[in-house]
Copies of this chain bind each other. A is one copy, B any other.
Amino acid sequence: MSTDNIVDISKPWFPYDERELETFITSLSKKLGDHLMNRPHSYNETPVIEFKQPAEIRDQINMSIDKPTSFKELRTLIDVMDFSVKTDHPHFFNQLFAQADPVATVGEWVTAVMNASMYTFEVAPVLTCMEKDVLRIMEDSLGFLEEGKPSGNGIFCPGGSISNLLALNVARFWKFPQVKEEGMHSIPKIAFFVSELAHYSMKKSFQIMGVGTKGLYEIKADDRGVMIPSELLKSIEIAKEDGYVPCCVVCTAGTTVFGAYDPIDVFSKIARKNEMWLHVDGAWGGSVILTSDHNKLMEGVENADSITWNPHKLMGVPQQCSAMILHSRHAGLLKAAHSTAATYLFQTDKENAEYDTGDTTIQCGRKNDILKFWMMWKSIGLKGMTSRLDHVWAISRYLVHAINQRSDNFILVNDPMCTNVCFYYVPPCLREQADYKLPYNQWTEEMKQKISQVCPKIKAMMQQKGSMMCNFQAQKEYVNFWRMVIISPCLSSSDMDFVLDEIESCGKTLNL
């Protein structure tokens, strides 16, 4: 017997008790709203994480979805989410995102209820206009708008890696348009030049693009993490000798670990001279363009061809919000590179077809990531956004100052450009071993080996206590050091004092 026979289609199917659902939604939204309002006042009592092993998590939360669960139980389970990392805790410094703005956060609630998809004006009329208009502001701030050329020459992507992938694909298409139809076999081997400290999405992009990671030439960076122009010139020659055609240079505006800015102005000239595309990966540090004093770090960005810029990092928008923008001189190229002109969706004889963004990217359905960003920006205005960024930059500079003040225990790895600050902490047990005040390259191997254990050990202690989460890293010749990232404007100078105090307090008992 077919089940169709026993399905009652005379009325809608609705699995919930309306009153219970209403209570659930009301109490949940109250809990979430209270959380957003109270977090500035309650974090001293709350750990960043209450750490549990996978088995313990599964013990506390019944993950099974086999049997229906009452709303009462569901509420309890959501409480158990407290085992999650509080990424909105002021002392969460672990990643390149942190406490999201409250207005942007509730903007995402509206987004969930609207449940739009961004491919056509027809299904997302307000939101596609909004995306175009916000892109215009971003383009304007970058100097990407050329007179007489249309704006809105970009797209919001699900994260910086996908933004970078799109940009690199456009670069390849710009150089060799036949690749779209005929593939890599129809064109020479091509080379992309990126900093040795560039984000790993570069490698991932070349893998998926069929360029192969061998087509990726990593250019040496200096001690601050800045890609060295003369090294690029050398690499271009080597690539040519290897049989590769130079295709694209990527400047990073804010590297992942050091926060270094490659000099776009210099590299754009090299790119132009060698008929290469210049992409700027500003996923992390691109927001600097809106600061009052630090936007010189991106001097020459108006000469770049494309940029990745993630508002979900320094601008405090919840995940995901990442823009990939082309200079207006390349109007139409994004679409040319990606369109398949699917007739069932993008009828060209339709009204307002120029607002249909779907055929300019590799996604079909595309989540609305613009509303939350727009709501936040609109509520604080451009000055507010600038003031937010100025605050976090100033906090990071205070941290540098505080580290220098405590030079008996703390040593900067280098002089930071973005809001990441990389440093060593030398615990008492190592201070007796004498040579830590010498420049790093004069440290003994034994010292390096020992100091590399400091971060993992202290991090584990802090994770157990739930006092703070901060990442560590080895990079270039440097063994494990702390990478602090300042993102949230909910921080004040006393939080930076706390960071150093907490590391010291954990470190004093170390015995290496």
Contacts and interface: CB of A to CB of B under 8 A. Distances in A.
A25 B378 CA distance: 16
A129 B57 contact: yes
Given A180-B212, A473-B344, A363 B105 contact: no
B390 A4 contact: yes
Given A94-B123, A186-B212, A204-B340, A319 B115 contact: yes
Contact of A81 (B52, B100, B114): B114
Interface residues of A, number: 177
A209 B208 contact: yes
Interface in A1-54: 2-4, 7, 9-16, 18, 21-22, 24-26, 28-30, 32-33, 35-37, 40, 49, 51-54
B129 A58 contact: yes
A17 to B, nearest CB: 11
Interface in A454-472: 469, 471
Contact of A68 (B106, B113, B384, B490): B384
A318 B115 contact: yes
A337 to B, nearest CB: 8
A54 B352 contact: yes
B106 A29 contact: yes
B375 A74 contact: yes
A113 B39 CA distance: 11
Interface string A90-120: 1000111101101101101111111111000
Contacts of A112: 100, 105-106, 108-109, 112, 318, 372
Interface string A265-296: 00000000000000000000000000111000
Interface string A47-80: 0010111100110010111111101001001101
B363 A158 contact: yes
A133 interface: yes
A368 B211 CA distance: 30
Given A32-B113, A184-B212, 17 more contacts: A13-B490, A16-B102, A22-B33, A25-B36, A26-B33, A28-B106, A35-B113, A65-B382, A74-B103, A84-B116, A85-B116, A112-B372, A183-B184, A207-B338, A210-B210, A343-B474, A344-B471
20 contacts: A4-B394, A7-B390, A15-B388, A16-B379, A18-B37, A32-B109, A35-B113, A57-B125, A68-B381, A77-B378, A84-B114, A85-B116, A99-B115, A161-B362, A169-B207, A184-B184, A200-B342, A201-B362, A208-B209, A344-B475
